[in-house]
Structure 1
Amino acid sequence: MWNPEIPFNALPPLPPKDIDLEPRQVLKATIDARIALATLAQAGRLLPNPNILTHAVPLLEAQASSEIENIVTTADALFRHADSGGGDQATKEALRYRSALFTGVESIKNRPLTAATAAQVCSTLQGRDMTIRAVPGTRIYNPATRRIIYAPPEGADLIRGKLSDWERFVHADDDLDPLVRVALAHYQFEAIHPFHDGNGRTGRVINILMLIEAGLLHDPILYLSRAIIARKNDYYRLLRAVTADGAWIEWILYMLDAVRVSAASTTRRIDAIRVCQDDIAERARAATTGGRDARFLAVLFEQPYCRINTVADRCDVSRQTASSWLHALVGTGLLSDRKVGRELLFVNDEFLGVLTRPE
């Protein structure tokens, strides 16, 4: 009998036994999620500059995933400090999430996803070397009542063994759909809770890495954590229900729906970006000399905040020319300028609005 106050050293390995993990409702939800992911991939390919997505979406994902852990910053602050790594503590933590995501993506290009990948991701997230929990006493509390709701397994060797089982499941050669595998693996990682801190965000990075490994995403362009934020209470309730009652189907359906909703939402955002990009490019070409430089227009849509040095370097022009191009667009109202400390930033406000606008 599971007791939330006693370390769950008996956490069983995956897959769960004697359960049909892909009944009809799961198969239907899987198909819907796959269609949404394929539509997202197609929308991404239609953008003239794919760097728009690989710069912007991970920052939005960083903000949402951090917010689940009550690390609250704004998308505006993240975009403003994306290149400098500055800002308040919450902004810096969220920016580390983006770095951790990119770290994980680069890692799985060279070797399969493993517990070592998770440790590397978590270390980047936390800004220090993260190792397997060795000290007993970790407990998860209800933030409102402060009651213990879960005690993860204890003992470094035991945790390593469970992570080895988790690795084998992640790469198992069976007929389980990759999206169902992501759902099960996410629960298991959170239940193992291998590190002293950062497990939730590390687990959400791993979700994206598993989708990339499975070929369902080519780049980290799925804004998945926003769907979890929208149903945050359900997320924690269903995680607990798997532990307490073996409620796997409800959990799988929740995760499949989160993927479907996130893919559809990100696709709509991409469509809006494309319309915004085409409109601004047309007006910029008509208004200024710089607006006719394709490299300049590309820079304006990789980050909503732009620096003179960035334009000069990317467009192979002098600082004076870069400055004149940017100020010309400020004069036409296509950009605004903002002083941040000693630095002058140029803001693509319409693009920023598309990226941060809630659905």
Structure 2
Amino acid sequence: MEADYLDEKAPSAQVREVRNYLDAADRSLELLKTRPVSRRLLEELQLILVKGTRGEAYDSGQIRQRQVFIGGSGRSVQDARFVPPPPGEALDEGVSSWEKWINTAERIHPLVRVALGHYQFETLHPFSDGNGRIGRLVVTLQLIDQGLLDYPVLNLASWLEPRRDEYIDRLLAVSQRGAMDDWLAFFLRGVAEQAETTTNTMKDLLALRDSMLNQLREAKDRSIATRIAGDLIETPIFDVATVARRYAVTHQAASNAVRKLKELNLVEQVGQSDYKRLYISRHVMEILNSL
């Protein structure tokens, strides 16, 4: 996240992908207010996701128009581990069926529906690039849409990443021999364990916020530093100009408040440029990085 701010003028490929994912996640929440999880919604998100990256292509922002396969860089399709449906009528019908099913299969438990929908999506592999990231984002959107989450706080990707090989094996086993129970057990274990991790992280963040506010009360601070500290778990990296705009105060008032936070070691300056002098709460970042 820190690199996201400090490297804004010349972002690395990794930073660009992270920034695009955050933009896509923000946009998805706006879209979800007026439409269900659907093909049109995902096409818009995929376009945001690959913009300015190696994955950007002529068919970005739409269901793929070329064959893709999974099985290692530089290998031919004959050596692929998995070949999803070809572009054209078969893929279009598959995506249409998937879209209808995830929005109408109300008799199935919501978590099971999410797990089955994720398998179906990744098997279709509907885009030329970004299917993994879009698929994980869809999990969060379905959980919100079905009332299981109020906010997008469940990051299943951090649970899946160290289990990547098992994740792929479980998906493939469903296609090869119908091992659906094993896939459901794996996926639902991930949801349960990551939900517990997220809950503990949120408790730690709230405890940290209370501690920072107590420090400011003991220091008898009368600036907007208390308001800034209260929002650090949401925006742990900021600059003075942003503070001034956010809290509708002068630049000097914002600067004085940030200086107070520095004196109490609640934030520290990062970057050397006076033009882009940023501040970060390391305490918040340490907790967030544990997710």
Same fold (TM over 0.5): yes
Contact 1:308 / 1:326 at 8 angstroms: preserved in 2?
Answer: yes
* CA separation of 1:216 and 1:313: change in aligned 2, threshold 3 A: same
Provide the residue aligned with 2:63 in structure 1: 132
How far apart, CA to CA, are the structure 2 residues paired with 1:259 and 1:357?
Answer: 17
How far apart, CA to CA, are the structure 2 residues paired with 1:170 and 1:340?
Answer: 49
Which ranges in structure 1 are unaligned for 5 or more consecutive residues?
1-74
| The 10-residue stretch of structure 1 (180-189 or 101-110) with the greater mean CA deviation from structure 2 | 101-110
Which contiguous aligned blocks of 4+ residues in structure 1 show a shift greater than 6 angstroms? none
Provide the residue aligned with 1:287 in structure 2: 219
Aligned to 1:219, the other structure's residue is in SS state coil
How far apart, CA to CA, are the structure 2 residues paired with 1:126 and 1:192?
Answer: 19
How far apart, CA to CA, are the structure 2 residues paired with 1:143 and 1:154?
Answer: 19
How far apart, CA to CA, are the structure 2 residues paired with 1:161 and 1:130?
Answer: 18
Contact 2:224 / 2:257 at 8 angstroms: preserved in 1?
Answer: no
Which ranges in structure 2 are unaligned for 5 or more consecutive residues?
none
How far apart, CA to CA, are the structure 2 residues paired with 1:337 and 1:288?
Answer: 23
Equivalences for residues 1-359 of structure 1 within 5 A: 75-78=1-4, 80=5, 87-127=11-51, 129-136=60-67, 138-142=68-72, 147-287=79-219, 289-290=221-222, 294-339=226-271, 341=273, 342-357=275-290
How far apart, CA to CA, are the structure 1 residues paired with 2:122 and 2:30?
Answer: 23
How far apart, CA to CA, are the structure 2 residues paired with 1:191 and 1:140?
Answer: 10
How far apart, CA to CA, are the structure 2 residues paired with 1:277 and 1:334?
Answer: 10
Task: Report the AA paired with residue 248 of structure 1.
Answer: M
* CA separation of 1:121 and 1:319: change in aligned 2, threshold 3 A: same
What is the CA distance between 1:76 and its match in structure 2? 3.8
How far apart, CA to CA, are the structure 1 residues paired with 2:96 and 2:173?
Answer: 24
How far apart, CA to CA, are the structure 2 residues paired with 1:150 and 1:334?
Answer: 50
Contact 1:182 / 1:211 at 8 angstroms: preserved in 2?
Answer: yes
- Which has the bigger relative contact order, CA under 8 A and spacing at least 6? 1
What is the CA distance between 1:133 and its match in structure 2? 1.8
How far apart, CA to CA, are the structure 1 residues paired with 2:95 and 2:120?
Answer: 9
How far apart, CA to CA, are the structure 1 residues paired with 2:169 and 2:194?
Answer: 20
Provide the residue aligned with 1:47 in structure 2: none
Q: Note the aligned Cα RMSD (angstroms).
A: 2.3
Query: Structure 2-normalised TM-score?
Result: 0.89
Q: Percent identity among equivalent residues?
A: 28
Q: How many residues align?
A: 281
How far apart, CA to CA, are the structure 1 residues paired with 2:10 and 2:251?
Answer: 23
* CA separation of 1:340 and 1:189: change in aligned 2, threshold 3 A: farther
